[in-house]
Structure 1
């Protein structure tokens, strides 16, 4: 069954445009642009800090002989969150910040784990050893 990804490609920019218009009516266009720029800068700084932290924690776990499974999912969340922060808009910024923020990241990690488990069970994702 084909999923309507094209609907998301239309819906997300429309929601972001609505968000821009609504916020600019509330606080003004100049402040809205400044807010978008500030959230991008703060998000980029958080991305760098959290990304380095995740990589350091994963290296520490590997040096101790442990598999860094949760840290790898954390790294994926940080990468996805950073990608969303690059896209200008308030909705993507909110999702991006919650993906990067360490207190809300476990929610997404659990969702990613369930998604990957489902894909592995139905054979969509396979792992091979070289």
Structure 2
């Protein structure tokens, strides 16, 4: 919680400082134009990479694989989109770094490796039709008022 509070204070201060410094060098209209340009380019790149990631995820699901990397990449792309839409240069830098696929996969790989994927009961799960096991047994309800 304290980290989030710190981020909500530090990030705007860094952005304001960068805008002032860049505006001093290239002028206010150019700074505003550059901020708008990075937002437009960022949105276009997010859209393109988002569609590519979605297509990869659909093809993995069609082949029966879990699209874990694609799902994680989609989350990172959404966060990068937010960073690119926030006016400023520091968040744009973070957003553009997240748009580089090899960097994105490199950063996600340790996190995904640490996750253990479990399949629950149901079709294809440990007791589903594809498991080859048949469970037999009797049951009775403990809360049955007729007994």
What TM-score, normalized to structure 2?
0.73
Deviations 1:30-71 (A, max 9, x none): 110000000000000001000000000000001011111111
The match for 1:61 is: 60
The match for 1:34 is: 33
Deviations 1:96-128 (A, max 9, x none): 1111222321233236437xx4xx79xxxxx89
Distance in 1 (CA, whole Å) between partners of 2:9 and 2:110 is: 24
Q: Is contact 1:73–1:112 with CA below 8 Å preserved after alignment?
A: no
Structure 2 counterpart SS, 1:48: helix
Whichever structure has more helix as a proportion of its residues is: 1
Following TM superposition, the consecutive aligned residue runs of length 4 or more in structure 1 with deviations greater than 4 angstroms are: 127-130
Any gaps of 5 or more consecutive residues in structure 1? 122-126
What TM-score, normalized to structure 1?
0.82
Q: Bigger radius of gyration, 1 or 2?
A: 2
**RCO higher in 1 or 2 (8 Å CA, sep ≥ 6)?**
1
Any gaps of 5 or more consecutive residues in structure 2? 122-147
Task: Give the aligned CA root-mean-square deviation in angstroms.
Answer: 2.2
Q: Is contact 1:61–1:68 with CA below 8 Å preserved after alignment?
A: yes
